Amino acid sequence: MSDTLRLLEALISRRSVTPDDAGCQALVTERLAPLGFECETLLRGPDDFRVTNLWATHRGARAGPTVVLAGHTDVVPTGPLSQWTSDPFVPSHRDGKLFGRGAADMKTSIAAMTVAAGEFVNAYPDHAGTLALLFTSDEEGPSVDGTVRVVEALQARGERLDCCIVGEPTSVETLGDTIKNGRRGTLSAKLTVRGIQGHVAYPQLARNPIHQLAPALAELATTVWDQGNEHFPPTTWQVSNIHGGTGALNVIPGEVVVDCNWRFSTESTPESLKSRFEATLRQHGLDYAVAWTLGGSPFLTRPGRLSEALSAAIRSETGVATELSTTGGTSDGRFIARICEQVVEFGPINASIHKIDENVNVGDIERLKNIYRRTLESLLT
């Protein structure tokens, strides 16, 4: 059993359902501290939702860039245990795969990054620049006391990062086929349209907010928000929930509440989306209120030294010619991009993430570690 697989199995065995780290970062620290890494734990959040963050650094003997390996030790809940073939927190091998919650998202990356960092420092103790690892237990949750708090602490110290690889599971069909070099932004709105409640038999004495909202929804659903660009697809808008009515069949509701979300490209801004949305509502004469939540702004790392080094490492290790992509949801890369010029995401195959019987190909575990190590060698030697 390789060091990477051994560490991965130990991590899967920890029931680190967000925001509980369950000792995962302690396992990482036990490996890195003896190698000369300065390991700083930052606890954030209230007592009933305590988040554990790790910032570990190894400073080289020569000037050079600061390269960060980032990820999260928390996992999503398991879902019904009866539907799992084996205990999700007991690493289990079947048909060349390792099963367990977090196997793909993203304890394989955590283990591979940790072992790769150790191997690199052992081989190049006088490397250039700084090698750092940033791990949090608040990525699968609200993401308010995790990576973003570490970034704020680094900003307060005046630290800037040069390159960062986030270990999100980005591969689609085979390890190495996809690197994420950016992500769309996410903007949510909770829209309340007010009417006048009344009896369905006397609609002239009421005002049905659902009827009033329907034409506006139809227009919003066909709105072209932007055309996207060479790196991002066009911005999309989707309704996720509609709530209206008292439950009685003979009552016109007094209000309707709609939850909706934009996944937006760099061609749009939160301000432009808000403005166009509310202009449509006013055009239809709605009596409304809207509460906004900006989940994250889009970020983009154009092809450059980091993506080239990572792509070359993937090609050397697997023979795969990788593609750059900005599809998918959000990640902690959106926070790191505030203080880091180049941020990409790369990790194992994502087909089973958040699913029952989550798994990773055993043969990919060591290859992933080697890809991370080769990338460090390219950037820090």
* Residues 109 and 134 reside in one and the same domain: yes
Of 296, 317, 332, the domain-final residue: 296
| 3-class state of residue 327 by DSSP | coil
Active site residue 267: no
Active site (annotated) includes residue 74 = yes
Any binding-site annotation on 140?
yes
340-345 vs 161-166, strand pairing mode = parallel
322 & 176 share domain = yes
Residue 354 annotated as binding site: yes
Which one from 20, 138, 139, 345 is the annotated catalytic residue?
Answer: 139
Q: What percent of the chain has pLDDT over 90?
A: 98
Task: Answer whether residue 329 shows pLDDT above 90.
Answer: no
Q: What is the DSSP string of 122-188?
A: HH-TT-EEEEEEEEES-SSS--SSSHHHHHHHHHHTT--EEEEEE----BSSSTTSEEE-EE-EEEE
- Local confidence band at 109 (pLDDT 50, 70, 90 cut-offs): very high
Domain that holds residue 194: 185-296
Token reading at 319: 């023979």
Question: Which residue among 21, 74, 119, 138 is the active-site one?
Answer: 74
Q: Which of 263, 296, 329 is the last residue of a domain?
A: 296
Question: Is 90 exceeded by the pLDDT of residue 33?
Answer: yes
* Per-residue model confidence as pLDDT tens digits over 50-106: 999 999 999 999 999 999 999 999 999 999 999 999 999 999 999 999 999 999 999
Same domain, 243 and 366: no
Q: Is 377 marked as binding a ligand? A: no
Residues 22 and 112 in one domain: yes
Rounded to the nearest 10 degrees, the angle between the axes of helix 362-380 and helix 305-318 is: 140
Residue 350's pLDDT band (cuts 50, 70, 90): very high
CATH number of the domain at 145, please: 3.40.630.10
Is 168 annotated as ligand-binding?
yes
Checking if the pLDDT of 363 tops 90, the result is yes
The C-alpha angle 53, 54, 56, rounded to 5 degrees, equals 160
- Domain co-membership, 76 together with 160: yes
Is 272 found in the same domain as 225? yes
Same domain, 65 and 81: yes
254-298 pLDDT, tens digit each: 999 999 999 999 999 999 999 999 999 999 999 999 999 998 889
Share of the chain above pLDDT 70, in %: 100
Domain boundary among the residues 296, 321, 347 is at 296
Token representation of residue 38: 């300065």
> Do residues 173 and 61 share a domain?
yes
CA atoms within 13 A on the CB side of 216: 22
pLDDT at residue 330, rounded to an integer: 86
Q: How many separate domains does the chain show?
A: 2
Task: Write down the pLDDT at residue 1.
Answer: 86
